Amino acid sequence: MSDANRKDYVWHNPLAVWGTATGNEKADSIEVPDPRDVWDENRAFKVPTYKVGRLKHYIIWPTHGDRLWNRMRWWPTRRNLLHIKGQYNRKTLAAEKKIIDRRPIYWALCLLIIALGPLFFPADMMNTLMTAGAIFGVFAAINVCWTLIIGTASIFSLATYAVVGTAGFISSWVSIKYGIPWYFLPFIGSGVGLIFGAAIAIPALRLDGFYYALLTLGLNELCRVFFTTSNEFGSASGGLYGASTFVNDTWEPITQSMVTYYSSFALLIGALFLFRLIHGKRLGRILRMAPEKREAFAAACGVDYKRARITIFVVTSIALGFIGGFYSAQYRGIAFSIFGFDTVLLGLAMLAIGGIGKAEGAILGTLVVVFLDKVLLELGPIRHFMIGALMLGVVLFLNNGYFGIKQQFNAWRDKKRGEWRSSRSEKGGEALPEEATEIEDKDDLYFRRFDKLQRDYLKGLVTPQIIEEHRKQPLGQHSEALERVLLYFRRAKMEDKYALHRAGAQGPYKIIAFSGVRGVSPRLVDDREYATLDEGYHGVFMRRVHDLMET
Amino acid sequence: MDITFVLTNAIIVACIYGLIAIAVSITWSSLGLINLAYGFIFSFAGYGAWMMAEYVTENPALVAATGIAVGALGGVIVCLTVFIPLHDKPNFTTRGMIATLAISLIGSQAFLMYFGPRPKALPEIFGFWKVDFLGITLTSDKIGIVVCSIAMLAVVVFWMRGSRRGLEIRAMMMNPHAAAIVGIGIRSTGVYVMAMTGAMAGLAAILLSQTYYISPFSGLTPLIKGVSIALCGGLGSVQGAVIAAILLGLVEALTNQFLGGQYVLMTQFLVIIMVLIVRPRGISGLLDKAREQ
């Protein structure tokens, strides 16, 4: 309230007419404004306001308290199917169940969609989609393994497709040359993967991060040149074909593509299980303890991160070799394009689009890239252009691919909220919005708000007139303005409330403050002495006025 | 084939791939960016020079200058699209590398769509002449390649030593944060570095196209060889790259001589892996002074 709104007037003590007045007979004072004005003024926001608090993330299911522990488990272990928390509703006290981690549901749904996909493919696209689906399964399996290497083991290897290709070529070659049946090929591939993985794991022990990435990029090129130029591996025909296969030529074409589709799908499921077994169990947990640049700390805690990384690398190489052998058993052989630089690029695009380090990221990225590359065939060379543009866009704008969007968005939103709030922080003394959502007793929030408004109102009433009025007569009837201020002061909490201490029988008086705690004696506020009780009252009043104006 | 022929070939190969290796090396050590888009810059410069030769003039100096200028332009494009938006973001190194790979994917597809898959040949820049030097016959293109790449390297090294910009780049190499604190603009330095290294890749493209053709994917082999040399010599070290270029050129020439062409990459990689196992940061890289970002 500005000074212009104040109206001075002379207050007459109503009791003076009867001669029973204990206070001033009359005093200069000010008109008291309506307290509701301050309330209305403060409640009106001058800036746009936004809803505060968290959205309801969790679906809450009703349950009976007895059945809270009655959960579905993976037979024969005690593991739960879902991470469920039991709780009691704070208002109704009803027992509730809350699914903390809903990812298994999403996984099951998405895998179900892939499994039932062929039923919903349009008939004119059936062939393309089945082929693309089979390729998606194989590539998704490779990328899930690659995620284990890049994400879990933090070894930035670009030689994944080289391992798959080498295993594929050698198993095809063995099958053609010695007539090995198809069911041995994945295992031959695994052996090749083991040898290859162990061989390229040796430099990984010594080199770090990007040196290794560049080296493996070169290794990939080395494999390409070696296999395309060697005569044994069919340098003329664009690949090595003729291996034994489980897809029978005499079957109907649709049966053949169904078998390929579902065998690839089974391969993907196998890769996901491998991911779960490594990433979600001991090795993965060890390595989550030792993220990049904190290896020394982890090592000091007794984590042998190098051993864990190499173990993962070798195990994953075996799996990649298995996939290579499976590939040649499924497609009767393998093409040189597996070693191509474009294949590595598309693979990295798949990982980058979904988000490196997450199995779901690898699968989503593979889905997107395979769809662009194998389904939209009629677009021509612009497909790869689109994939490149998508990859560039994702890398430029997203911190960790599609599945990092939520986290990145939340961080950005929190930052923006902080900025907006600081630009409109005019409501001092009240609880901040986030604080308010965490405070259990909402009465406390209302009290703080009311108290702040009241202080704002009373600050406008403190004028030289009422101070002078109080100095003349601290006790007795006062003008309304002074009376309102005094009422507020008297209602203060015991903690730090001022009082007068009489030093001798007739004075002088000193100001003390109560501790607010029973048994703890009051403290002396300062050494100033007041000769009479009225002077002491006025001293206390001035102190409180001072405190009020400070807040 | 005699040993002198082997040696001259080794030197020529070392010169061309050494240029790209030094470009990769300087970019990594000053900007912290693993630029795998040099393959794109290489083809970009080659096509630029080819268009100059095809549509404007076949003057060798102008064609070469166009190639270098277009290479520098390609470097600036990569800088503007990758380095400047990403350099202060989390996971810069990984994302930068993937972004440069994306650029090379987009670039090679764009070349494929615009110029078609047929390779293009550049005119002979150095003419046709021969010199007998101590009993060795040197053709014009060999001498030209060696002289040009050494000259380019000398210019780059003197510029880095003597100029204000070079001082800024060297400061960035030593400690990027401290350089930023004393007022060296990271972004502007990034543009200089990428223009310079792009020009080196452009020159490499011109020189290599004296022997090979220009095609949308022709930058891949030089990139991989350049990266391998940079890796072997130690990222961030010019003299290491020179040593590694000579070493690997020698290995390539010897393998060609005694084992056959298809084993070149194998022997080279065996040598690189052995070097890296002994010295994980390359021949003249320092163990504990790796750039951390």
Q: How far is B165 from chain A (nearest CA, A)?
A: 27
What is the predicted pLDDT for the residue at A41?
A: 79
CA B51 to chain A, closest CA, distance in angstroms equals 22
In this predicted structure, what is the pLDDT of residue A340?
A: 83
User: Cα–chain-centroid distance for residue B83?
Assistant: 18
pLDDT greater than 50 at residue A2: no
Give the per-residue pLDDT at B34: 84
Alpha helices in A509-532 (DSSP H): none
Q: Phi then psi for A501, rounded to 5 degrees?
A: -115, 125
Residue A236's pLDDT is: 60
Q: Closest Cα of chain A to B181: distance in Å?
A: 24
Lowest mean per-residue pLDDT among A114-118, A149-153, A231-235, B73-77: A231-235
The first and second tokens of residue A524, run together, are 């002396």
Distance between CA atoms of B207 and B153, rounded to whole angstroms?
A: 14
- A94: pLDDT confidence band, cut at 50, 70 and 90? confident
Is B93 in contact with A213 (Cβ distance < 8 A)?
Answer: no
Q: Sorting pLDDT into bands at 50, 70 and 90, what band is A1?
A: very low
Please give the Cα distance from B180 to B171 (Å, whole number).
9
The answer to ipTM > 0.95 is no
**Cα distance between residue A205 and residue A215, in whole Å:** 13
Tokens of A85: 């928390």
Look at residue A426 in the predicted model and tell me its pLDDT: 55
Of the listed ranges A269-273, A375-379, A434-438, B85-89, the least confidently predicted one is A434-438
Instruction: Please return the burial class of A523, using the count of CB atoms within 10 Å of its CB with bins 0-12, 13-18 and 19+.
Output: exposed
Residue B202 Cα, gap to closest chain A Cα (Å): 21
> How confident is the model at residue B293, as a pLDDT?
42
Which region among A5-19, A22-36, B76-90 has the lowest average model confidence (pLDDT)?
Answer: A5-19
Which helix (DSSP H) or strand (DSSP E) does residue B132 occupy? strand B130-133
Residue of chain B whose alpha carbon sits nearest to that of A390: B102
CB contact under 8 A, B102 and A349: yes
Q: Which residues pair with B48 in a beta bridge?
A: none
Position A49 scores a pLDDT of: 67
Single out the residue of B119, B139, B138, B147 nearest to residue B207, CA to CA.
B147
Whether B212 has its CB under 8 Å from any CB of chain A: the answer is no
- Average pLDDT score over residue span A121-147: 90
Token pair for B157: 């090294």
What's the maximum distance between 2 C-alpha atoms anywhere in chain B?
A: 58
Does residue A166 contact residue A226 with C-beta atoms inside 8 Å?
Answer: no
d(CA A498, CA A516): 11
Look at residue B134 in the predicted model and tell me its pLDDT: 67
Sequence-ordered alpha helix ranges (H) in A179-294 = 185-206, 209-229, 253-279, 282-289
* Model confidence pLDDT, tens digit, residues A38-91: 888 777 767 666 666 655 566 777 776 666 667 788 888 888 888 888 888 778
Neighbours of B53 (CB within 10 A): 21
Q: Is residue B35 within 8 angstroms of chain A, CB to CB? A: no
Q: CA separation (Å) from A141 to A66, A108, A197?
A: 42, 17, 17
pLDDT at position A488, please? Answer: 93
The whole-number average pLDDT for the span A266-282 is 92
Say whether residue B267 is in contact with chain A using an 8 A CB cutoff.
Answer: no
User: Of B90, B102, B228, which has the smallest distance from its Cβ to A399's Cβ?
Assistant: B90
Check residue B37 and report its DSSP letter. T
Q: Is A341 on the interface with B (CB under 8 A)?
A: yes
Using a CB-CB cut-off of 8 Å, the residues of chain A touching B265 are: 218, 221-222, 225-226
Query: Is the pLDDT at A278 greater than 50, yes or no?
Result: yes
For A95-99, A305-309, A545-549, which range has the lowest pLDDT when averaged over its residues?
A: A95-99
Q: Does A203 touch chain B if contact means CB atoms closer than 8 Å?
A: yes
Question: Binning pLDDT at 50, 70 and 90, where does residue A315 land?
Answer: very high
CB contacts of B27 in chain A (<8 Å) are none
| Residues making up chain A, counted from first to last | 551
Residues of chain B under the 50 pLDDT cut: 288-293
Residue A77 identity: T
**Contact of A465 with A30, CB cutoff 8 Å:** yes
Judged by a CB distance cut-off of 8 A, whether residue B106 touches chain A is yes
Q: Average pLDDT, whole number, for chain A?
A: 85
Distance CA A297, CA A55 (A): 37
> What's the CA gap between A273 and A283, in Å, rounded?
14
Question: What is residue B74's predicted lDDT score, i.e. its pLDDT?
Answer: 93
Continuous segment of H or E residues that includes residue A510: strand A509-513
Cβ B101 vs Cβ A348: under 8 Å? yes
A348/B contact by beta carbon, under 8 A? yes
What is the pLDDT, as a whole number, of residue A447?
A: 87
pLDDT of A194 strictly over 90: yes
Q: Which amino acid is at B176?
A: P
Confirm or reject contact between A202 and chain B (CB < 8 A): yes
Residue A272 — very low, low, confident or very high, per pLDDT cuts 50/70/90? very high
**Helix, strand or coil for residue B18?**
helix
Cis peptide before B90 (omega within 30 of 0): no
pLDDT average, residue stretch A303-326: 91
For B260, name the nearest residue in chain A, comparing CA atoms only: A229
Q: Do A225 and B89 touch (CB under 8 A)?
A: no
